[in-house]
Amino acid sequence: MEQQEYATGAARTAGGRSDGRTGGAGRGTTDAVLVVRASAPRPVPGAAPTTGVDAPQGPGPAPAACPDRPESDAPTGSPSPSAEVLSPDPGLLRLARWFAEADPRTADDLCAASLGLYPARHFGAPTEPVAAGPAATEVSWWHGPTAHTPAPPRAREPRAAGGLRRARRDAAALPVVLSGAKPGQPGRHRKPERSRGPAVVPQDRSAAATAAERRIAARLLVAHPLVTASGPHADGFPLIRRHRDWLAERFDTLLGYRLVVGPWHARLHKAGLGPGAARRLEHPVTGAPFTPGGYAQLALALALLVDAPEQLPLDRLLAAMKAADPGTGPAARPGDCPDLVMALAVLADWQVLGDLPAELSADLPAEPSDPAAVLTVDRELARAVPVGPPALADDAADLIRRAAEAEPGTAVRRRLAETPVVLAADLPEDQRAWLRDHGRTGPAALADFLGLESELRAEGVALLDPAEELTDLALPGTDTAAQAALLLVERLVEEVRPLPGETTGPDVPVPDALIDGVLGDIADEYGLPAGWHRGYLADRTALRRDALDLLHRMGLITPAPRGTRPPGWLLRAPAARYAPAPDLVPAPGTGRHSRRDPDITIPAPAAPAAPRAGQPA
């Protein structure tokens, strides 16, 4: 390995903290590294040399060559970049093979561990408040306050595509925020941020503005770990650069994440979430999920782009991918390889590639690609994408495990920051003990950093975002699958919720027949009046699949353990927050299947009267 690196002029990029002790995505993870070839530094016109967190900490990949330099300025006798042989990065090439051999669920976990570009995911609607104190952690989600909305689903204004809405702010505390809104006007649909302390006095105006800017920048990075100066979130990039030192320190202290801020991009190196995290990469336009083959094409393309020329012919990239790994390489035409089309689309969405040819912008191009098409490559961004490469891992499972390793407090805070809910039953013993000892102070510090609210229950903790911005999935949502999922989970909770006093864990089994029956009733009752998609109404199997998938990704249901017969689903305790509040003292029913109150004595029926004379007995 060392001889190979010496022969190719490779440099090791530590995936972790700047002290070089750890790797993966930040402090507390293992020391996996990425092997990339060094190149000349990229000068920035009129800018001073970058220092501190502006440059990668520790040994790392050098920035790409300056794109403004014309080809004619190259030294005499040097080969043209277009004539250079594309050589794949060995670590990313190995990753591509692991992707190709993985099953879909393992491929999703491997993507989160090796790229770390997943967004945060949180519940939005808060439940009714619970009295503060130790009693708050004794209330169960099954029987506690709910966030149920009794109104039937109805169409709402769709959320802006691509991430966070404009930051909500207190006009008195924040006179100026670079968000694109008109100066001095918060917007008629913007609610001011609820104050968490005493009213801001004029002398604290600057301090409040600074705190709000830092929170906006932190939320943007958690939602979008790769932010560029010319991308869709460019208005927040100046805030990240302005507070980069403070953000780098807080991310490292609370989450063990490494933040790298350069002149043109900011990269938050997130850690993996471990196996079964239900995080997957999707096509940026169609939303189609990546397959193991799509992940393999993405890693293989990155393996070549980290050292590719800035102007790269498409046919040359395809030939290099085929030569680098014939087992996962694409076909001669991108139209014959949908996985390659998805990989190039997401690379263009990350701005690693410039504008794609028209036939590559569609989901499944029908026309053959132009062999003379030229791709614009940003090598600096290509090198910023991988965070947990497999240089020291034995296989895919080992990489997933290594990327999620951290000290107990850091590991729990990562789960709180990235996932909708953290249940104590899902944690190993050391992390469960930390959550039990720091159940109030630990989540509170993270909630204040990201502008979230803590919801503590007997089963675990959830950090809520009432603004419904810091999440990639919305529940309640506006589309058919989201509306059906919300109604489904509401009725399932009413059917299988344990009674008070029953000894049960955070999960309750749900029969498949109950899911089918409830979903059928919901579709018949709400489908046409609510304007649901006719394709779902005609294909109930697809409606069931997508509704259950959304509930699973939000942590409200989970598949039954492997080997369970028959296989099915388990309803999780946080699902009860979307159901009506339980009637803990129901009125005694009169039906033959209803429960009777033991304190109510039902008199025995009176004996029939004796028949009168002349009447039949």
For 370-430, the three-class secondary structure string (H helix, E strand, C coil) is CCCCEEEECHHHHHHCCCCCCCCCCCHHHHHHHHHCCCHHHHHHHHHHHCCCEEHHHCCHH
Closest CA to 551 of 602, 491, 463, 466: 491
The two tokens of residue 163 are 């991430």
Domain ranges across the chain: 2-64+88-118+274-396, 480-578
Token look-up 């709180």 returns 416
pLDDT value at position 392?
A: 80
Q: Which residues contact 354 (CB under 8 A, 6 or more apart)?
A: 348, 375, 376, 377, 378
Is residue 268 a contact partner of residue 257, using CB atoms and an 8 Å limit? yes
- Rg value, the chain, Cα: 28
| Secondary structure in 3-state letters for 43-83 | CCCCCCCCCHHHCCCCCCCCCCCCCCCCHHHCCCCCCCHHH
Task: Give the pLDDT score at 359.
Answer: 65
Start-to-end CA distance of the chain, whole Å, equals 104
CA distances (Å), 481 to each of 162, 164, 345, 535, in order? 20, 22, 25, 11
Q: Which residues sit opposite 259 in a β-bridge? A: 268
In order of 17, 53, 277, 424, 524, the CA distances from 251 in angstroms are: 11, 12, 21, 24, 48
Q: At what angle do helices 90-101 and 104-114 cross, to 10 degrees?
A: 160
CB 80 within 8 A of CB 313: no
- Confidence (pLDDT) at 566: 72
Beta-sheet strand order (sheet of 460-464): 422-423, 460-464, 453-456
Q: Which amino acid is at 363?
A: D
Helices (H) and strands (E) in the chain, counts: 19, 13
Q: What is the pLDDT of residue 521?
A: 93
Predicted pLDDT at 388: 75
Nearest to residue 242, comparing CAs of 223, 270, 218, 269? 218
Cis upstream peptide for 476 (omega within 30°)? yes
pLDDT, residue 332, reads: 57
Q: Tell how far CA 277 is from the center of its chain.
A: 9
Going from the first residue of the chain to its last (617 residues), give the mean pLDDT of each consecutive group of 10, the final group possibly shorter: 36 36 41 39 42 39 36 40 71 93 94 95 83 66 85 50 42 38 41 47 72 96 96 95 97 96 95 89 92 95 94 90 76 72 94 83 49 87 87 89 94 96 94 91 92 92 92 90 94 90 81 93 89 91 95 94 79 93 59 47 49 50
pTM above 0.85, yes or no: no
Cα 105-111-116 angle, rounded to 5 deg: 135
**CA nearest 237: which of 265, 210, 268, 257?**
265
Q: Are 148 and 304 in contact (CB under 8 A)?
A: no
Q: Provide the pLDDT for residue 116.
A: 94
User: What is the spatial distance between Cα 530 and Cα 483, in angstroms, rounded to a whole number?
Assistant: 9
